[in-house]
Amino acid sequence: MKERLEALRAEALQELQQVDNPQQLNDLRVKYLGKKGALTEILRGMGGLSAEERPIIGQVGNDVRAAIETVIDEKQNAFLAAETENRLRAETIDVTLPGKALPTGAVHPLNKVAQEIEDVFVGLGYSIAEGPEVETDYFNFEALNLPKNHPARDMQDSFYITEDILMRTHTSPVQVRTMQQMNGKPIKVICPGKVYRRDDDDATHSFQFNQIEGLVVGPNIRMSDLKGTLLQFVQQMYGEQAQIRLRPSFFPFTEPSAEVDVTCVQCGGHGCRMCKQTGWLEILGCGMVHPRVLEMGGYDPAEVSGFAFGMGVERIALLKYGIDDIRHFYTNDQRFLSQFARM
């Protein structure tokens, strides 16, 4: 019996060596090791062996099985490896072709900048107030200490609809409306929005533009708080190294009033073409709320004080992105808009 087993091993190994496809391999597995295979067939005759012979023949049988299995496994692995190899070769693609990009639209750069500014102030505890773009003369001028015939109205040539109704020339009327709504309570708001002034459009002027104004009213609000607030704002907006510089100016609704320069974003204050070698860029107007304005808003200037500031969103966006013509913001050329899709 032992000889038969050894002969089987030799025959199997011999035959396995010739195998060159997985199907053949499987057929041989069945032929030799299957339930009705040759090995089982031989071992079935073990019943006629003596108790001494049986373990010896059993051992031989196992050795033969193991030897055949080892070769089958090796062959099997080799076939798998070859198959995988083939598959990988077949599946190879040109990874330099472009992928399926996600669509990328862009928030309009003016809104992108406005949102950024809003976020800074919301983080500082401000709410965002809004109001109508068509305003009454009262809210746009009178309540802001600009009575009819006031010389400062020279500065704002406006689009009137009737004698008393006009396109707002600044977002300041929202400040007045806020004061009247807040009814004497402390205020901390910013007011973003579109405004309109009669201007011939050119690279730096647009009859329609956007402003963001801020208003803080409460007991003991000081000009030093205004400086502190603006410094905090520009540092969040332009980085820790940014500084501000205030120059006395005039607005009818604030006293004292100031224009605010910020360290040039281009050169960091060393002087360049953008800042006309001064190291500073003018970006804001501000001041302490004029007592007349507080009064008309329903606040007692003896009890409370306040500060206000305002900036042009277009100017900030022009500076931030180095845009050369303000009209791009309103012609909405896709080649322009698509440049602002980045985070």
Partner 1 sequence: MKVSYQWLNKYIDLSGFTAEELAEKMTRGGIEIDGVESLNKGVSGVVVGYVKSREKHPDADKLSVCKIDVGTGEELQIVCGAKNVDAGQKVPVAMIGAKLPGDFAIKRAKLRGVESQGMICSAKELGINDKLLPKEQQEGILVLPEATPVGTPIGDVLGINDEVLELDLTPNRSDCLSMLGVAYEIGALTGREVRLPEPAVNHAAERADSHISVSISAKEQCSHYSARYIKGVKIGPSPQWLQNRLIAAGIRPISNVVDVTNFVMLEYGQPLHAFDADSITTGRIDVRLANPGEKLVTLDDQERALEPHMLVITDGEKAVALAGVMGGANSEVSEKTVNILLESAKFDGGTVRKTSRQLGLRSESSIRFEKEVDPARVIPALNRAAALIAELADGLVEEGIVEVVASEAAPAVVDVTLAKINGYLGTELSRLEVQTIFDRLHFSYRLSDANDLFSVTVPTRRGDITRDVDLIEEVARLFGYDNIPTTPIHGDVTPGALTKPQAIRRDLRRRLTDAGLHEVISYSFTGPSRTELFPDLSGKDLKPVKLAMPMSEDRSVLRTTLIAQLIETAVYNRNRKNESSAIFEIGSVFHTDEEQLTRLPQEKHRLAVLFTGNRVDAQWNRKSAPVDFYDAKGVLETVIDVLGLTARVRYESAQPLNFHPGRTAAVIVDTAHGPETIGYVGQLHPTLQHESDIADTYVVEVELGKLYELADSDIEYKALPRYPAMQRDIAVVLDQSVPAAKLTATAWAVAGELLESVRVFDVFTGEKLGAGKKSVALSLVYRHEGRTLNDEEVTELHGKVVAELEQSFAAELRK
The stretch near partner 1 (CB under 8 A) out of 2-10, 53-61, 75-83, 218-226 is: 218-226
Question: Please, what sign has the CA dihedral across residues 128, 129, 132, 135?
Answer: negative
State the residue for tokens 């015939």. 149
Is 255 among the annotated ligand-binding positions?
A: yes
Rank residues 34 and 291 by Cβ distance to partner 1 and give the closer one: 291
Of these, 227, 274, 295, 323, which contacts partner 1 (CB under 8 A)? Answer: 227
Rank residues 79 and 141 by Cβ distance to partner 1 and give the closer one: 141
d(CA 61, CA 50): 16
- In the DSSP assignment, the letter for residue 132 is -
Closest C-alpha to 172, from 145, 149, 148, 191:
191
Shortest distance (Å) from residue 125 CB to partner 1: 4
Contact call for residue 184 and partner 1 (CB under 8 A):
no
Tell me the three-class secondary structure of 189-237, residue by residue. EEEEEEEECCCCCCCCCCCEEEEEEEEEEECCCCHHHHHHHHHHHHHHH
Rank residues 5 and 110 by Cβ distance to partner 1 and give the closer one: 110
Shortest distance (Å) from residue 231 CB to partner 1: 5
Shortest distance (Å) from residue 252 CB to partner 1: 8
Contact call for residue 136 and partner 1 (CB under 8 A):
yes
Contact call for residue 162 and partner 1 (CB under 8 A):
yes
Neighbours of 340 (CB within 10 A): 17
The stretch near partner 1 (CB under 8 A) out of 57-65, 75-83, 84-92, 242-250 is: 242-250
Rank residues 33 and 340 by Cβ distance to partner 1 and give the closer one: 340
Cβ–Cβ under 8 Å, residues 260 and 270: no
Contact call for residue 242 and partner 1 (CB under 8 A):
no
State the residue for tokens 């990009």. 101
Shortest distance (Å) from residue 232 CB to partner 1: 8
Of 309-338, binders to partner 1 (CB under 8 A) are: 329-335, 337-338
Of these, 271, 291, 320, 323, which contacts partner 1 (CB under 8 A)? Answer: 291
d(CA 30, CA 151): 108
Q: Could you give the string, one character per residue 140-159, with x where binding to partner 1 holds by CB under 8 A and - elsewhere?
A: ---------x-xx-xx---x
The string of DSSP letters for 264-292 reads: -TTTTTS--TTTTTSSEEEEEEEEEEPHH
The stretch near partner 1 (CB under 8 A) out of 21-29, 32-40, 48-56, 223-231 is: 223-231
Of these, 228, 239, 298, 322, which contacts partner 1 (CB under 8 A)? Answer: 228
Of these, 35, 44, 89, 100, which contacts partner 1 (CB under 8 A)? Answer: 100
Contacts with 275 (C-beta within 8 Å, 6 or more apart), sequence order: 264, 266, 267, 281
**Quick one: the chain helix, strand, coil %, rounded to 5?**
45, 20, 35
Q: Which residues are annotated as a binding site?
A: 255
Residue ranges of the binding site for Mg(2+): 255
